[in-house]
Amino acid sequence: MIYRKGRTERIVRGQQQRFYGDHLVVGLPHLGLVLHQLDTWGASPRVADEDERLGLALVCLEPSAAVSKVRRQFRSWVNEAVARAEDAGAEAADLDLTLVCLRRLFAQRYAGWLPALGKNRLLERVTGSSVVPVGSSPGDVLPRGRFPGNGARVGVVDSRLRPHPWLDGAVIAAARDLATADGISDRGDADHATFVTGLVLRQAPGAVVDLRAGLRDDGTTDGWSLAKDLADLGARDTDVIQLSVGCRTDDGRPPMVLQEAVRAVGPRTVVVAAAGDHGGPASDGMAPAPVWPAAMERVVAVGALDGEAPADSTPDAPWVDALAPGADVVSTCDVHRDGTGGLGRWGGSAFAAAAVAGAIAARVSDGVDGPTAWRDLAETSKRDHVGRSLVGLRRPSGWPADGRPGRADEY
């Protein structure tokens, strides 16, 4: 159980996913239909939020009340769903059973037609290690220039941004999205947004980063909140959006709310997302489960390089589009926790994704939007043996070398 927005909400853990057990995401055109059916089952549904850009509404309900009725009314459907969950080594949650009965009832009633329905899943930041300070100081690094990347706008959805002098003048953020020197816990990952932003600007020093602190300080968010952040950034003429969060699903399909969010950002914005740090084959020899939104068709999924080879933690899967340095990468962090800045080394696919987002922004110009810049980068970059683009890192003047030998520092 967690406490959020003044009420208790249940987080349910499935095999591959966590989700809010008292939330449904529903398509706006058929919201009334779904609410009526839930009300008939005694689930006390209420609309908590709705967004025309997404075409969706967030509905809170009491699924246990619904299940007590559908167990009697649709006993065979419920028993089938319970048996499938048990065969998979899991337990069917009340929301799962409610969704099964909703979908089967509507399909039966309307000749297979279904309204848009889905869960509100929990997403987690994919980076789990901590930053290690390095000896060099940004005082030894030359100021950012206007090129490459002049005029490009990069949206970053991450945690709150710690102050850093090298980022001054290049970040757009609301006051609530900034962490004061003493206003955030001393977590090992508290520099994440600062590190990611530094990497974007390391690649495209002339760009502007539009930061949204869409992640809580523990590095989590939910699908509905992330979708609204993406829609907001898409409406602000953003060229590139960088994401360091993801989730997996029990059925291996993308969450509906994230699909609608990627659609809502529009055709001139490219979304770049970390592929995750959960590589290695599963016990049955299958590839690791896809991470969403990275594995979506319209999203550039980025894995990490360790030297010139993919990091062991990078999923070996066909939905990974690009690889970039992701081991001992150097970027900005608030070393002394006082806003005076510093540099550190860190690793993970989140930082590889930031490097690719910055490399795309470096190619944005008048008449060249984010998707076009990505296609140009993909066509001109080196590729590995399976065709994934290999994107390198720029080294600004005075910037210390990244920690792994044998890797190019220019893209």
Q: How far apart are CA 254 and CA 296, in angstroms?
A: 7
* Residue 300 pLDDT greater than 90, yes or no: yes
Is 18 within 8 Å of 123 (Cβ atoms)?
A: no
Looking at the structure, tell me whether residues 179 and 111 fall in a common domain. no
Domain count, the chain: 2
Looking at the structure, tell me whether residues 95 and 196 fall in a common domain. no
Q: How far apart are CA 53 and CA 260, in angstroms?
A: 9
Condensed to tens digits (0 to 9), the pLDDT of residues 77-116 reads 999 999 998 988 888 999 999 999 999 999 999 999 999 9
Q: What pLDDT score was predicted for residue 110?
A: 97
* Residue 340 pLDDT greater than 90, yes or no: no
Mean pLDDT confidence for 329-356: 93
b or e along 332-346 (b: 16 or more beta carbons within 10 Å of the residue's beta carbon)? bbbbeeeeebbbbbb
Is residue 59 included in any domain, yes or no? yes
Is residue 47 included in any domain, yes or no? yes
Is residue 58 included in any domain, yes or no? yes
Mean pLDDT confidence for 344-352: 95
The pTM of the whole model exceeds 0.85: yes
Q: What pLDDT score was predicted for residue 1?
A: 32
**Percent of the chain whose pLDDT exceeds 90:** 76
Looking at the structure, tell me whether residues 191 and 331 fall in a common domain. yes
**385: CATH:** 3.40.50.200
Condensed to tens digits (0 to 9), the pLDDT of residues 269-278 reads 999 999 999 8
Mean pLDDT confidence for 170-177: 96
Identify the band that residue 4 occupies on the pLDDT scale cut at 50, 70 and 90. very low
Identify the band that residue 2 occupies on the pLDDT scale cut at 50, 70 and 90. very low
The answer to which of 64-73, 180-189, 338-347 has the lowest mean pLDDT is 180-189
Amino acid at site 316 = D
Domain extent for 211:
124-390
Condensed to tens digits (0 to 9), the pLDDT of residues 115-166 reads 999 999 999 998 767 899 987 665 677 788 899 999 999 999 999 999 999 9
Mean pLDDT confidence for 355-384: 97
Is residue 88 included in any domain, yes or no? yes
3-state secondary structure 158-188: CCCECCCHHHCCCEECCHHHECCCCCCCCCC
Looking at the structure, tell me whether residues 94 and 132 fall in a common domain. no
Q: Which residues contact 229 (CB under 8 A, 6 or more apart)?
A: 157, 212, 214
Q: What pLDDT score was predicted for residue 386?
A: 94
Q: What pLDDT score was predicted for residue 408?
A: 42
Q: What pLDDT score was predicted for residue 213?
A: 97
Q: Which of 246, 296, 286 is nearest to 128 (CA)?
A: 246
Average of per-residue pLDDT values in the chain: 90
Structure tokens at 177: 């999205």
Cα 35 to Cα 50, 68, 115, 212, 215, distances in angstroms: 14, 17, 12, 32, 30
Mean pLDDT confidence for 223-250: 97
Is 336 within 8 Å of 190 (Cβ atoms)?
A: no
Looking at the structure, tell me whether residues 22 and 105 fall in a common domain. yes
Amino acid at site 261 = A
Identify the band that residue 184 occupies on the pLDDT scale cut at 50, 70 and 90. low
Looking at the structure, tell me whether residues 71 and 197 fall in a common domain. no
Mean pLDDT confidence for 177-188: 68
Structure tokens at 13: 């853990």
Residue after which a domain boundary falls, among 88, 120, 152: 120
Is residue 76 included in any domain, yes or no? yes
Q: Which of 306, 239, 299, 249 is nearest to 275 (CA)?
A: 299
* Residue 396 pLDDT greater than 80, yes or no: yes
Q: What pLDDT score was predicted for residue 17?
A: 87
Condensed to tens digits (0 to 9), the pLDDT of residues 237-248 reads 999 999 999 999
Is residue 267 included in any domain, yes or no? yes
Q: What pLDDT score was predicted for residue 128?
A: 61
Mean pLDDT confidence for 370-391: 97
Mean pLDDT confidence for 50-58: 98
Is residue 409 included in any domain, yes or no? no
Amino acid at site 62 = E
Looking at the structure, tell me whether residues 200 and 187 fall in a common domain. yes
Condensed to tens digits (0 to 9), the pLDDT of residues 250-285 reads 889 999 999 999 999 999 999 999 999 987 655 456
Is residue 407 included in any domain, yes or no? no
**Percent of the chain whose pLDDT exceeds 70:** 91
Residue at token pair 């809580």: 216
* Residue 405 pLDDT greater than 80, yes or no: no
Looking at the structure, tell me whether residues 92 and 157 fall in a common domain. no
